[in-house]
Amino acid sequence: MIGKLNHVAIVVPDLDKAVATYRDALGAKVSDATDLPEHGVRVVFVELPNTKVELLLPIGENSPVAKFLEKNADGGMHHICYEVDDILAARDKLVASGARVLGNGEPKIGAHGKPVLFLHPKDFCGTLVEIEQV
């Protein structure tokens, strides 16, 4: 069921500084910033040969990552995203195995324009997991 690692998401308090770190210090290719108001974040993707790093900056009062940044003022790893072929089949299998899907259980469109779901961190070794249909 689980496919390749799509990205690791890092919440940052200063997106420009984070972009400069990845672009200038590490020499990575970095996308332009995109606002996703429905998710309460501004995102930038760092392209790597084998995956991506997603840099997240909270926008708006209802941003789910704002609380993360309140607890972790310097930022840090927020979630890990795995690819799946069929998000509904993956969801149903995960739920049947006892995993909890966050939200209403229905996929939303993520930053890549593809359906995504988030899984409760207590069910995955303390890590928030996103699955994305490819």
What positions carry a catalytic annotation?
Answer: 130
Q: Rounded to whole angstroms, how far apart are CA atoms 14 and 48?
A: 21
Distances (CA, A) of 24 to 19, 27, 71, 77: 8, 5, 28, 21
79: CB partners within 8 A, 6+ apart: 8, 9, 118, 127, 128, 129, 130
Contact (CB, 8 A) for 81 and 14: no
What is the three-class DSSP state of 98?
A: coil
**Residue 80 is inside which H or E element, if any?**
strand 76-84
CA–CA separation, 36 vs 21, rounded Å?
A: 22
